[in-house]
Amino acid sequence: MTLHLANQILETLEKHGFEAYYVGGCVRDWLLSRPVHDIDICTNAHPSDVIRLFPDHVPTGLKHGTVSVRIEGQFFEVTTYRTEGKYEDYRRPADVQFVSELRLDLERRDFTMNAMAMNRAKELQDPFGGRADIAQKLVRAVGEPLERFREDALRLLRAVRFASQLGFSIEAQTLAAMQQTAPLLSHIAVERVREELNKMLASDSPQIGCALINKTGLFGYAPGLQRLFRDAASEFWRAVHVESLAQKWSLLLYAARFTAAESKAFCQSLRMSKRETETIVGFVELLERIQPKWDAPETVEWGQLLLDAGWDTCEQLAGILQSCWWKQPAQTHSLMQTLVEQYRAMPVKTMKELAVTGLDLQVALQKKAGEWIVHVLRALLAQTALHGLPNTPEALIEAAKKEVAQDEH
């Protein structure tokens, strides 16, 4: 396993007279019995020593003292103890200095739970009481909280994100400092903001993060967030269980009464990818479409929705309806049942299953290729799937002619 590979690095460094520790997130997650996804190592060895001792390496961040060492195909970041110079632009230190003491390296880290180191013998170095804070489920800044958030305003969102991921509260002084420094978030690049918000939403308790964004006033200082977190009830999250990150975004936007067009502008302001944006907006559109039916989900016409959005999306939508708005379990059961029955009852489910292709239609109707094809195929699909039109070339071509004639009128 990964840990024994990392152990080799510690061992080699120690054998050559250096100190070496696991540090940061991996120690925190190990103490919390959570899965460890990346292992960071710190050492008093100079980067030039690390490079010499581990020929198979990539100098990923030499300026900051980081060398990525490869053992059996896996990379581990080995970073020389360092302190950081004055911070610039509320985000990055202007320079770093290598130091010989572990404590100084731990001091520069953001929260007490992230400022612990552990050696091969699993002995913990914990100068700021990270372990006690973990036991109390607290996110606490290392040192003077105001200073720490002023140095690097991204820490504001990291605190929110860790609280969501771990189900922690924010220690009182740290929280007060966050409220005071919230405006500094406006200095942080929108991509970094998006990354942290994504981690928050993807976590087990996004409602904790939503509530904190409200409580600290952070919502006022990143593009689009103002309306989102002011209007969306954080209560909302308690009821909803959705796996997909895109759908979580959609639900949050929908709960804050963003239209599909506004949702698109929001995604663009956070510089989400085109694909992500389309998925999110698509789901908001679906939610809008069934909007009048929230109070009576049994009246949702699943048939057309199934054709337009597919089984997976409809199943998720039904799940959301039942966990969120539809309170009676007996009816909930029949909602899923209805969906399954309707899906099974459809003799065709996609355009590909139709007995004619776009080309067949062009030939039969003697028309040039154009947008009309998809339009007609869609209509044919609805008629065969939902309204009993036989799925035979003759019947379909007949119906296609009618469809085109109607359109030309």
Count other Cβ atoms within 10 Å, centred on residue 110: 22
Q: Does 407 bind Mg ion (CB under 5 A)?
A: no
Q: Does 166 bind ligand ATP (CB under 6 A)?
A: no
152 binds, among Mg ion, ligand ATP, none (CB under 5 to 8 A by kind): ligand ATP
Q: Does 154 bind ligand ATP (CB under 6 A)?
A: yes
The DSSP line for 335-385 is: HHHHHHHHHHH-S--SGGGSSS-HHHHHHHHT--SSTHHHHHHHHHHHHHH
Closest distance to ligand ATP from the beta carbon of 155 (Å)? 5
Helices vs strands, H then E, count in the chain = 21, 13
What residues between 119 and 138 interact with ligand ATP by CB under 6 A?
Answer: none
Q: In what order do the strands lie in the sheet with 124-125?
A: 57-61, 66-71, 74-80, 40-43, 20-23, 117-118, 124-125
Dist. CA 358–CA 364, nearest whole Å: 10
Q: For residues 41 and 210, which CB has a smaller minimum distance to ligand ATP in the complex? A: 41
Closest distance to ligand ATP from the beta carbon of 322 (Å)? 33
Which residues, 6+ apart, have CB-to-CB distance to 344 below 8 Å?
none
Choose the binding region for ligand ATP from 12-20, 106-114, 268-276, 308-316 (rule: CB under 6 A). 106-114
Closest distance to ligand ATP from the beta carbon of 336 (Å)? 36
Tokens of 66: 């980081």
Q: For residues 25 and 47, which CB has a smaller minimum distance to Mg ion in the complex? A: 25
Q: Does 155 bind ligand ATP (CB under 6 A)?
A: yes
- The amino acid at 399: A
Choose the binding region for ligand ATP from 151-159, 214-222, 267-275, 381-389 (rule: CB under 6 A). 151-159
Q: From the list 44, 80, 114, 174, which residue makes contact with ligand ATP (rule: CB under 6 A)?
A: 114
Strand partners, 96: 84
What backbone torsions phi and psi does residue 83 show, to the nearest 5 degrees? -115, 170
Choose the binding region for ligand ATP from 108-116, 234-242, 247-255, 400-408 (rule: CB under 6 A). 108-116
Q: Which has the closest alpha carbon to 276: 187, 159, 191? A: 191
- The amino acid at 354: L
154 binds, among ligand ATP, Mg ion, none (CB under 5 to 8 A by kind): ligand ATP
Beta strands at 20-23 and 87-88: parallel, antiparallel or unpaired:
unpaired
57 binds, among Mg ion, ligand ATP, none (CB under 5 to 8 A by kind): none
* Residue where the block lists tokens 């510690």: 10
Closest distance to ligand ATP from the beta carbon of 362 (Å)? 54
Size of the site for Mg ion (CB under 5 A): 2
Which residues, 6+ apart, have CB-to-CB distance to 265 below 8 Å?
224
Choose the binding region for ligand ATP from 58-66, 148-156, 334-342, 397-405 (rule: CB under 6 A). 148-156
Collapsed DSSP state (helix, strand, coil) of residue 58:
strand
Q: For residues 142 and 253, which CB has a smaller minimum distance to ligand ATP in the complex? A: 142
Q: From the list 22, 30, 40, 213, which residue makes contact with ligand ATP (rule: CB under 6 A)?
A: 40
Closest distance to ligand ATP from the beta carbon of 197 (Å)? 13
Q: By rule CB under 5 A, what string of x and - marks binding of each residue 24-63 to Mg ion?
A: -x------------x-------------------------
Size of the site for ligand ATP (CB under 6 A): 12
105 binds, among ligand ATP, Mg ion, none (CB under 5 to 8 A by kind): none
Collapsed DSSP state (helix, strand, coil) of residue 227:
helix
Dist. CA 193–CA 196, nearest whole Å: 5
Q: Which residue has its beta carbon closest to Mg ion?
A: 25
Q: Does 194 bind ligand ATP (CB under 6 A)?
A: no
What residues between 3 and 32 interact with ligand ATP by CB under 6 A?
Answer: 24-25
274-278's contacts with Cβ under 8 Å and 24+ in sequence apart are 276/246
Q: Which residue has its beta carbon closest to ligand ATP?
A: 25
Contact 52, 22 (CB under 8 A): no
List interacting residues with ligand ATP (CB under 6 A): 24-25, 38, 40, 109-110, 114-115, 152, 154-155, 158
